[in-house]
Amino acid sequence: MDVAVAPNADLFIADGNNHRVRRVSGGIITTFAGTGAAGCGGDGGPANQAQVSSPTGVTFDTAGNLFISHDTRIREVYGATPRQHPTTLDFPVLMNRAFGGYTTTIYVENSSGGPLAAGAMTINYYDRTGATVGAGDSSPALPDGAVWVVAQNNGHSFADGGAGTGVLHASDRVTAFTNQEIPGGDGSAYDGQLPYSFGATLYAPAILNNAYGQYSTGIGTMNASDSSLTATVTYRYPYGSQAGSETSRPLGP
């Protein structure tokens, strides 16, 4: 009998007597590979519908693929466990009713491809000197594609009227967007702006070019996928008509 620990901490057991590979996850044991009948059939299909014959060894590569030694063969189960992509995101400007009453809200989407456990994401806050402020925020359990909404006036970051920066740490891939709420409302209240969204398209509610007292905004784009891509930014006037657009150079993963 051999055992291996997967990248996500699940335990895999070569159960040679029963012609199976077993998985222990969250205290629950299940059959991962093998039907209980000795054999070598089933390549290209689900692992629990394929046959293995008295497996003697199991091991993982760094990508989460499982290798099973049995009979005179070594079989591979591709993607036996999801590969994690720990993510760190910086938020350079966050506010709690600062600069005339403006507050920011962070929207974080679970884009890992699987569920994230409670506490898988944390946000720490820092004042302008770099000192830690507030208790910080910790995420609830999130299914894939779900969004965690964190407003900086929730009592976990800056004192009322304060501002600073934040850093998000996530155990796997996430996508984040920061919205600025105007006093008495949220950023989507700007005339002609579409609501925020996630995935292939993000909506920025306020883009400035030397406006409102010479304030200007900038957009930073990070490719969080596994392949190269380009990003296009389309600018619109307050009432929806297009003002222009620009496309990035190819961005590597």
pLDDT at 251 over 90: no
* CATH number belonging to domain 2-77: 2.40.10.500
pLDDT tens digit sequence for 20-74: 999 998 788 999 999 999 998 888 888 889 999 999 999 988 777 899 999 888 9
Residue given tokens 């409102």 in the structure block = 212
**141 compared with 214, residue with greater pLDDT:** 141
Domain boundaries, given as residue ranges, for the chain: 2-77, 88-195
pLDDT at 189 over 50: no
* Token output for 44: 């290209």
* CATH number belonging to domain 88-195: 2.60.290
| Lowest mean pLDDT across 22-31, 48-57, 148-157, 233-242 | 233-242
| Strand spans (E) along the chain | 2-5, 11-15, 20-25, 28-33, 57-60, 66-70, 73-77, 87-95, 103-110, 121-126, 132-138, 147-151, 163-170, 174-181, 232-236, 242-247
